[in-house]
Amino acid sequence: MDSEEFRRYGHEIVDWIARYMDEIEHYPIRARTSPGDLLKALPTAAPETPESMDAILADMDRLIMPGLTHWQHPMFFAYFPSISSPPAVLAEMLTAGLGVNGMMWETSPAATELETRVLEWLRDALGLPSDFEGVIQDTASTSTLCAALAARERTLNYRGLEDGGAAIAPLTAYGSIEAHSSVEKAVLLCGIGRAHYRAIPTGADGGLDLAVLKATIKADLELGHIPAFCVATLGATALGGFDDLKAIGAICRDHNIWLHVDAAWAGSALLLPEQRWMIAGIEAADSMVMNPHKWLRTTVDCSVLFVRDVGAYTRAFTILPEYLKTAETGQVTDYRDWGIALGRRFRSLKLWFVLRRYGLHELREMIREHIRLAAAMAATIDAHPDFELLIGPRLALFAFRYCPAGATDTDALNEALLSTINRDGTLYLTRAKVDGKMAIRWSVGQNNLTAQHMDKAWTRVQDIAGDLSRTS
């Protein structure tokens, strides 16, 4: 492809993306394909000769689009938001065009220094302590794994790097039963292992039970284990619960446990001064993750890991062969030592674009509006005699269920309601369990979301629920 063809199709693809953004509400939110449909339609071998861009773009519409779930749709209320934006998309285009590998300062000084400064902006905007320093990873799963590896090594005085399994065997890790699955995965991958991971129950408020945490640590110490890693969750994935960071931090300090804070979703709400209650006690944390690619309009992937003791953290990852030594080694930040991967995409560019194009004020107002819309909808559902609000709202998340008078199997009814809603294509919701009850989880946080979208979604939920009751 020469530059002229690139220019032509580049314009065409930008037009396609802009049209998609404008028309996204006309798409059914979830894919309408069955397992294997695309595999059957694709050739079993790569082409031997070049194909035209016209053919490739035609197949984008014909083959790929029907199999996509449209995460940017304003009626997407499933999981947590993963919102993109035009400035972030444009920055991604520049990132791809530049093809920078920002593995260390020398390989692109601007990539390193932009990441440093943009994460200082973000840290200060979130109200985090000034001794936190940040690094961009791909997802919270990687950020949490990196924190677990650093915790392992600090606890072992870095013997694990040399001795491996034998040194790691006595370590234990802790998180609530509501902690994200990435926490358990991090414990597995860092070598501590599932048998040494303690999933602590939660209390009535949805936060980790402090008495059980204390008792579990005490029991582990009596068995000769070494408590090493604890994760406090701010905004748990299933039901949006918040752990008591101040109390957990005091326990971790007493036992020299690395405290990692998972605020992947809720961390964006720290832009709002009125929501900073959730980080009371953050001064005891060793690391914290939050994902701009969830609620800050920064196209996936962009996960920010903040760490307090950079030396203790990077020591777990630093390897310096001759081919990576430079004249500036030791004088500059080399982000290759801040995580697992050597090669690094220029992710800070899109965060820079987003923060500059929208400004903190507009981002704050977007999050405030999402929280307001969630509260209003939760109140509406709570007031309806045939529905029950089970959880929340917690920031912009709540859970409810359909329980009309005379229903004999409410769990089965709500399973049918959720399944029918998601097949319908008007909106997209996910499931949860609340005290053993089947619940429907509603997460608010999309671009271009208005009260009209919320009202339309609620009307459709009521219509489908009514149809189910009449036919059951």
pLDDT score at 182: 96
Is 384 a domain residue? Answer: yes
Answer yes or no: do 364 and 339 share one domain: no
Which band of pLDDT confidence, cut at 50, 70 and 90, is reported for residue 284? Answer: very high
The pLDDT of residue 321 is above 70 = yes
pLDDT (tens digit per residue) in 435-453:
999 999 999 999 899 999 9
The answer to whether the CB of 242 falls within 8 A of the CB of 208 is no
Answer yes or no: do 185 and 105 share one domain: yes
pLDDT score at 472: 66
Is 120 a domain residue? Answer: yes
What are the start-end ranges of the E strands in 201-354?
226-233, 258-262, 287-290, 303-307
From residue 208, give the alpha-carbon distance in Å to each of 82, 144, 243, 462.
26, 18, 5, 34
Give the mean model confidence (pLDDT) for residues 276-293.
97
Which band of pLDDT confidence, cut at 50, 70 and 90, is reported for residue 206? Answer: confident
The pTM of the whole model exceeds 0.85: yes
pLDDT (tens digit per residue) in 62-117:
999 999 999 999 999 999 999 999 999 999 999 999 999 999 999 999 999 999 99
Give the mean model confidence (pLDDT) for residues 215-227.
97
Answer yes or no: do 196 and 332 share one domain: yes
Q: Which residues of 446-472 are buried (b: 16+ CB within 10 A; e: fewer)?
A: bbebeeebbeebbebbeebbeebbeee
Helix (H) or strand (E) holding 442: strand 437-443
Query: For the chain, how far is it from start to end, CA to CA, in angstroms?
Result: 60
pLDDT score at 173: 98
Domain boundary among 345, 376, 399: 345
Which band of pLDDT confidence, cut at 50, 70 and 90, is reported for residue 5? Answer: very high
CATH, residue 403? 3.90.1150.10
Q: Which residues contact 324 (CB under 8 A, 6 or more apart)?
A: 104, 336
As a whole number, the mean pLDDT across the chain is 95
Domain boundary among 320, 345, 370: 345
The pLDDT of residue 187 is above 70 = yes
Q: Which residues pair with 387 in a beta bridge?
A: 402
Answer yes or no: do 171 and 312 share one domain: yes
Structural domain span for residue 25: 3-67
Is 387 a domain residue? Answer: yes
Which of 17, 81, 75 lies closest to 293, judged by CA?
81
Answer yes or no: do 128 and 274 share one domain: yes
CATH, residue 169? 3.40.640.10
Q: What does the radius of gyration of the chain's CA atoms come to, in whole angstroms?
A: 24
pLDDT score at 44: 96
Supply 374's token pair: 């969630």
pLDDT (tens digit per residue) in 367-404:
999 999 999 999 999 999 999 999 989 999 999 999 99
The pLDDT of residue 471 is above 80 = no
Give the β-pairing of 387-394 and 397-402.
Answer: antiparallel
Answer yes or no: do 364 and 341 share one domain: no
Answer yes or no: do 217 and 139 share one domain: yes
Give the mean model confidence (pLDDT) for residues 332-353.
96
The answer to whether the CB of 227 falls within 8 A of the CB of 172 is yes
The answer to whether the CB of 421 falls within 8 A of the CB of 468 is no
Is 92 a domain residue? Answer: no
CA distance 200 to 206: 11
How many separate domains does the chain show?
Answer: 3
The pLDDT of residue 226 is above 90 = yes
Answer yes or no: do 244 and 327 share one domain: yes
The sheet with strand 397-402 has its strands ordered as 387-394, 397-402, 437-443, 430-434
pLDDT (tens digit per residue) in 244-281:
999 999 999 999 999 999 999 999 999 999 999 999 99
